[in-house]
């Protein structure tokens, strides 16, 4: 299991894979810098996911991958705060060049 997925297992849908999510593939990216962005995102999401759970929502990340030079994150049961944090991470990834992301 991917170390980030293992560390933040409560955020990722690993139990319904391969039918309900793509997390059985792990984080589908080679970028070291993007992995750092995902780890920081997970730290920010933990309290927001707990808050969503208290509202009856079971937030889960279904897939994380690099596609066409962009960071893609699929998830379910997000709140406005969760949506904003995920968009923030995707925007941060856009500002990292391909060379920098691979070798940071």
Structural domain count of the chain:
1
pLDDT tens digit string along 31-79?
788 889 999 999 999 999 999 999 999 999 998 888 888 889 999 999 9
Extract long-range pairs of 5-12: CB within 8 Å, 24+ residues apart: 7/39, 7/42, 8/42, 8/45, 8/46, 10/46, 10/49, 11/42, 11/45, 11/46, 11/49, 11/59, 11/60, 11/61, 12/60, 12/61
- Quick one: average pLDDT of 4-23? 79
| Region 2-15 average pLDDT | 89
The residue range of the domain holding 7 is: 3-103
């Amino acid at each position: 299991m991917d170390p980030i997925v293992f560390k933040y297992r409560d955020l990722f849908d690993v139990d319904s894979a391969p039918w309900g999510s793509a997390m059985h593939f792990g984080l589908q990216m080679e970028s070291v810098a993007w992995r750092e962005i995902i780890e920081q995102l997970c730290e920010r999401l933990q309290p927001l996911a707990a808050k969503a759970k208290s509202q009856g929502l079971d937030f889960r990340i279904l897939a994380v991958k690099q596609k066409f030079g962009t960071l893609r994150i699929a998830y379910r049961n997000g709140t406005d705060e969760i949506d904003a944090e995920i968009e923030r991470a995707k925007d941060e990834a856009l500002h990292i060049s391909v060379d920098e992301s691979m070798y940071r």
